[in-house]
Structure 1
Amino acid sequence: MAGKPGGGGSSLIVLRSFTAPDNDTPIATDFWQQYYTFKVNGCNAVLGYIPQSIIGRIQWTDTWTIDQDSRTVVLNTPLTATRETRSQALIQTLKATQKAGVISMLNKWRNETFPIYDSNGTVLLEIERCASALFGIVTYGVQLLCYTNSNQKGLHLWIGKRSSKKQTYPGMLDCTAAGGLPTATLPIDAVMCEAQEEASIPYAFIRTNIKSMGPISYFHVRGDKAGGEIGLLQPEVEYTYELELEGGMVPTPSDSEVESFSLYSVEETVGFLKGGLFKPNSAVVIVNFLIEHGIVNGENEEDYEEILAHLHRPLEFPVVIQSST
């Protein structure tokens, strides 16, 4: 970041994988030729992007239409199809692909689904969580950052370290608690559950003191640390929260996903950001927190407007934003 905190360099190092080329550039032409649009019969909206490298590996049934000229994949269920029948058609395809053993990400099957919305904000179908990035659909999640702020020591952040056995981003730094937002779950319920499960923070304290920082939206290109296939597009909406811990309260790992928690100063945290030590979608939440607290602003960060654009990117898909509280 320019100026304080940290001095020198650019904060955009943590945002480099959070973009896709503008549609009117030569780079964009080469970039987007690697992807097919994903649609469902009866819905005109583009619902996601599937890499060309994945198209040939998925075990498509006759329910699907793949148009090589328009680079479009359509789930061709009848116009009378229901959310359940569309979801089942997709599951059958994914299960057949999993059985073929040609896509490693499908080995992480969770029996947890994410919603895919239509242009009216209605759930059109649901997709198994581990397959969401294969189809490039919008996913939703929650992130909580705990902190302390004393007159003696100033602002410090509770940073988690992911287990080295995690399938995704093993050993990297993380927010205090985070998780995906499954179908039919409210953000506030999800974040409180994650805070209890991952950081052992009492429910009553969370409910009384948690504060929403609002949603952020971004477009992430998955790299090799994400686990599984690389180059997958992952547009996401994250509901972000902060929680000040007082009276000696500390987060404590309560499951195998978190190795430890440590309390770091803002300067130390920014150094970790610049060093690429954070899980990518946690890094952007940290940046958002620093903006919310006025630590990063237009006066001390020369790339401030570009950072805001990355954190609040309009997504070109049907998106439903729920209340954060």
Structure 2
Amino acid sequence: MNDWKIFQAGKEPHDDIQHLPPPPSWRKYGDDNKSNENKNKRGATFQARAEDVELVNAALYLRRPLLVTGKPGTGKTSLAYAVAYQLQLGEVLYWPITTRTTLKDGLYSYDAIARLQDIPQKGSNNSGSSENNSNNLSEIGKYIQLGPLGTALLPSKRPRALLIDEIDKSDIDLPNDLLHVFEEGEFEIPELVRIAEKLKDVEVRTAYKDKTEHTYQHIKVNINQGRVQCNNFPFIILTSNGERDFPPAFLRRCLRLDIRDPNEKELENIVKAHFLDKNNEVEFLKEAEILIKEFLKQRDNQQELATDQLLNAIYLMTRKYAPAGQNKDELIKQLFKSLNP
């Protein structure tokens, strides 16, 4: 293959797709083991600043959530993976927030419709028997799943890790709704509380997925009398792009970290962390330095750029077959397109 372009206008069908090089380290997919390795690498390559380290440790000591604010692409979410990776907290529980998100979405879900649909099938021969009713009651756990926040509040020997992403996009009530949970570290599942006298322990699913993490053994847990109470407050990072203000009562219960754009030296360290295993390191660093300077030039001209745009450009421009000449300059321009509307 003597051209970097796999797809070309007007070309007949071909098999050149098989010649694609390995994907960037941050864009690998596959089985559970590989998926988990990629998440770990995301944490391992994060370059934390001194102020990041100070606030993370303060949050760990004080058992307080950490509200992290910054522009898109500054590493807000990666910080959560970095802490979980180094402190061996297991899988990072992820809760993305939208305008429709409620507190219950984070705590648990109960599929009442599926349960109702299953009851006639299992009880069609003797739907009124006490034995059948008892069986239906014992299987309620099949229809309940803890959400990311609910899973994070399960008892554990070490804190669990929870990332609440883009809290500033939430409904106006959600930050206040979180206050009681953050203060008490507990919640109840009403569907289980109502049957606690007849069925004290119910096994339910959690939000954990990764099979290679030690937290995967908690993919299912027993809930006693419908109540979940943490004994180690989870390490919680809430990210915000600064699109709204939060009520003082909410801010009082969080520590706040503002992540700034990385400077030139910090960008160099980030690039090295992701591309350290390049074969021709001298040529690679020369090309990367040019792209970093162009990236900073565009950012200094009031362009809003994310660090992963720089990583994308470096990955493409340091391939064996890479764009050249005017095509290269035009592609870099497109890759460094501002995030501003």
> Shorter-chain-normalised TM-score: which range?
under 0.3
Q: Is the strand fraction higher in 1 or 2?
A: 1
Structure of larger gyration radius? 2
